[in-house]
Every structure is written in C-alpha cells, then in structure tokens.
Amino acid sequence: MSVDLSQFHQVFFEESHEGLDVMESALLGIDLANIDSESINTIFRAAHSIKGGSGTFGFNEIAEFTHVVETLLDLIRSDQFKMETEQVELFLKSVDCIRTMINQLEQEQAVDTQQAGELNLQT
Amino acid sequence: MATILAVDDSASMRQMVSFTLKGAGFDVIEAADGQDALDKAKQSSVDLVLSDVNMPVMDGIELVKNLRALPNYKFTPILMLTTESAGDKKSEGKNAGATGWLVKPFNPDQLLATIKKVMG
C-alpha cells in the first residue's frame, strides 16, 4: 500500500508553527529564579512533536536539529542541566531557526542549515 | 471489522495514521490525548490501541495504566509510538502493560506490518 505523505504536510506546517509559538511564549515567560516544571514540559513536548513529525514526513534537517534541542531540554527537564539566561536565548534562537526552516519548506525552497549549525547547543 | 483507537496530540500524525489504517480496512477512532482516548475507549469497543507517549493532559503511560484497570481492556493490544531516544519510557510503558512499540519515525508500511503482527 502506498500512501502519499505530502497530503499531510500542510497540517504538519501549521501545527509546527503553533508549537513554535507555544515554545516561544513559554520561554519568554520563564522565571529563572523559580522554574515551573510544567513550562519546561510544554516546551519539550512542542519540540518533541516537531521532531517526530519532521522525521515521519522526511524533513530530516529539521528532525536532526530539533533532536539536539529536545535532548538539551530533556536534560533540563530531568534536572541534569541548569536553565540559565544563556540557554533561554539559545532556545529562542533555535525556535527562530526552526521557524525559518519550516517557512523554507512551505515555500518549497531548499532548507538552509547554516543558521542551525552555528547555534552551539551541545552540552 | 477491527476498530483501532489512534492517540496522538499531533494532528498530522493522527491524520497519517488514520488514513493508513482506513486504507487497510480498519475502523479508526482518533483521540488527541490520553484522557480523550480513555473517554472514547469507555464509550466504544476497541480492538487495538495505538498511542503516542508524550502528550498533554494525560500521557501515553498513564493511558496504558488506566486502560489496563478497565475489565474490557485488560488484554487489548496496546502499541506505543515512541522515539529511539526514549529508552526509559519503553520499560515504563512495558511495566504499565503496553504490548509493544513502534519506533518513530515510521512509514505507513511499517505501521501496517506491526499492527498485522500484533493482531495475528
């Protein structure tokens, strides 16, 4: 059985934009002195969904980059890494970066991975 | 006709799974999170549950625990959809009573092959 996955792309783009908006507002609302674990979970879930969808629909550049973001979020979520201003800024830049890549896909352009490569998200 | 409950908070994943399963002749009930799935499972007779793990409101692990506590769902096959990185979630899900796993990303053919294997 052959299923044309391109019929689901538009829904994926739309939910990814919603997820990125959720990540962005949660990041902007974070109180570093008193981090709410539900905010981190919300950010993690949005990144996780984008990674899962992009992998499924063959958008590997986004899947790979979002995987790195998700891994760092998971470490923060499990208290193995501390969230500081630097990380918040890095995650906000990552959101912009993923948004740009999604926009490029929507406009059927080649995905530019340079911006993603320049963000040092390794722990 | 077997009925499958497809649970995922991602609309695109739900649509892909549902389209694939319907194309293979299954009846599909969609749910957007664990609580939604639990409500729908109670209202209908479901032959197999296919659930994402990371979801808001109620996650996949809690869903499995809740389903296994219901007499009608003690032995119903439950497949979890997860990513390779979620090793500890796998054992957590297994302990909760999940039947098996399908690792994301998967394509429609892999999905159907796994379901056919589980449903015998």
In the block, tokens 């090793």 appear at B87
Residue A42 lies in a domain: yes
Looking at residue A23, which CATH number applies to its domain? 1.20.120.160
Using an 8 Å Cβ cutoff, are A19 and A27 in contact?
no
In A, which residues are within 8 Å of B109 by CB distance? 1
- Which helix (H) or strand (E) element contains residue B1? none
**How many A×B Cβ pairs under 8 Å?**
67
| A84 closest CA partner among A31, A39, A24, A44 | A31
On whether any CB of chain A is under 8 Å from the CB of B88, the answer is: no
Using an 8 Å Cβ cutoff, are A111 and A61 in contact?
yes
Report the phi/psi class of residue A108: left, alpha or beta, with left for phi > 0 and alpha for psi in -120 to 50: left
- State pLDDT tens for residues A74-122: 999 999 999 999 999 999 999 999 999 999 999 998 888 888 888 866 5
For residue A122, the model assigns a pLDDT of 58
Residue A123 lies in a domain: no
- State pLDDT tens for residues A25-46: 999 999 999 999 999 999 999 9
Say whether A52 and B112 touch across the interface (CB within 8 A).
Answer: no
Looking at residue B93, which CATH number applies to its domain? 3.40.50.2300
Lowest-confidence range among A4-8, A61-65, B80-84? Answer: B80-84
**Domain containing residue B11:** 3-119
Question: Given A44, A52, A70, which is nearest B105 (Cβ)?
Answer: A52
Name the band, by pLDDT with cuts 50, 70 and 90, for residue B1: confident
CA A25/CA A22 separation, integer angstroms: 5
Q: What is the dihedral of CA A96, A99, A105, A106, to 10 degrees?
A: -140
Residue B48 phi, psi dihedral angles, 5° rounding: -155, 140
In A, which residues are within 8 Å of B13 by CB distance? 52-53, 56
Number of domains chain B is built from: 1
Q: How many residues does chain B have?
A: 120
Residue A63, SS3 per DSSP: helix
Say whether A15 and B15 touch across the interface (CB within 8 A).
Answer: no
**Domain containing residue A30:** 5-118
Residue A104 phi, psi dihedral angles, 5° rounding: -65, -40
Number of domains chain A is built from: 1
- State pLDDT tens for residues B53-79: 989 999 999 999 999 999 999 999 999
